[in-house]
């Protein structure tokens, strides 16, 4: 069935390790986004991509990296440079960058 799939749902990592969060969509959407959500907070933009092979930094890109080699995939790497990586990470996509965005179910990352 169609949609946005984030995996895994829960992820635990040791401090200092890089970790990659997966986001796949089979909706043929051009634009994809990564947001971070902390408890009781709104969503903050990490990175976004309006078209394959192109991406831009959001408001809180430091310590994160992305790639967009395929239209359907937009993986996010949380590097050891991210000072406070424990959070709920949400991936979204939209048909074009001026349309509504649809979200995956999120990955909860805990760094210990």
Partner 1 sequence: GENVGLHLPTLSVQEGDNSIINCAYSNSASDYFIWYKQESGKGPQFIIDIRSNMDKRQGQRVTVLLNKTVKHLSLQIAATQPGDSAVYFCAERVGNTPLVFGKGTRLSVIA
Q: Residue 60, interface with partner 1 (CB under 8 A)?
A: no
Q: Which two tokens stand for residue 89?
A: 């990470």
Residue 14 vs 105, nearer CB to partner 1: 105
Shortest separation between residue 13's beta carbon and partner 1, angstroms: 19
Q: Please identify which residue in 14, 69, 98, 112 interacts with partner 1, judged by CB under 8 A.
A: 98
CB–CB of 9/110 below 8 Å? no
Structure tokens at 41: 């907070």
Stretch that binds partner 1, among 13-21, 44-52, 61-69, 77-85 (CB under 8 A): 44-52
**The sheet that has 76-78: what strands, in order across it?**
4-7, 19-25, 76-78, 64-66
- DSSP-derived secondary structure letter, 30: S
Q: The tokens of 109 are what?
A: 């990352």
Contacting positions for partner 1 (CB under 8 A)? 4, 6, 33, 35, 40-45, 48, 50, 58-59, 90, 92, 96-98, 100-106, 108
């Amino acid at each position: 069935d169609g949609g946005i799939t984030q995996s895994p749902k829960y992820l635990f990592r040791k401090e200092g390790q890089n970790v990659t969060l997966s986001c796949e969509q089979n909706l043929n959407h051009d634009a994809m986004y990564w947001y971070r959500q902390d408890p009781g907070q709104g969503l903050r933009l990490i990175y976004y991509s309006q078209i394959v092979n192109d991406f831009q930094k959001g408001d809180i890109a430091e310590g994160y990296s992305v790639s967009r080699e395929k239209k359907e995939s937009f993986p996010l790497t949380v590097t050891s440079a991210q000072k406070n990586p424990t959070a709920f990470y949400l991936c979204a996509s939209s048909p074009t960058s001026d349309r509504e965005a649809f979200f995956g179910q999120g990955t909860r990352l805990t760094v210990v």
